[in-house]
Amino acid sequence: MEFFLASRSHRIALVGHLKLPDLFEIALILAIALIVVGPERLPEVMRTVGKILRELRLASNTVLHELTDVLDEPPPANIPQPPKSSPEAVKPPGPPATQPLENK
């Protein structure tokens, strides 16, 4: 929630705190993938993983930009302000008024 409440420049700074994997971690992941998948299917699997990651990044960027635009735009000017409350408007209603019945 803090990410969306921050100003645009602070949002960029918050994203900058994410830790990316270093070269050793990437090599370890690739070695494990090579063992699990095998050398024949590894290029196909890596292409598929790349496509999935690209789609996820595009979707998250779209959502991020839409939320940023909505949070940064000023509220519309044509929304009426709520009426100011007075003590009488807040006071609960009393018992219903009764009128005497007329016999005809």
Integer Cα distance of 91 and 31 in angstroms: 73
Residue found under tokens 């006071």: 91
| DSSP result, 56-71 | HHHHHHHHHHHHHHHH
Helix (H, G, I), strand (E, B) or coil at 100: coil
Band (pLDDT 50/70/90 cuts) for residue 72 is confident
How confident is the model at residue 28, as a pLDDT?
92
18: left (phi over 0), alpha (psi -120 to 50) or beta: beta
Taking only the tens place, the pLDDT of each residue in 5-61 is 555 555 555 555 667 778 999 899 889 989 999 989 989 998 999 999 999 999 999
Q: Residue 63 pLDDT > 70, yes or no?
A: yes
pTM of the model: 0.46
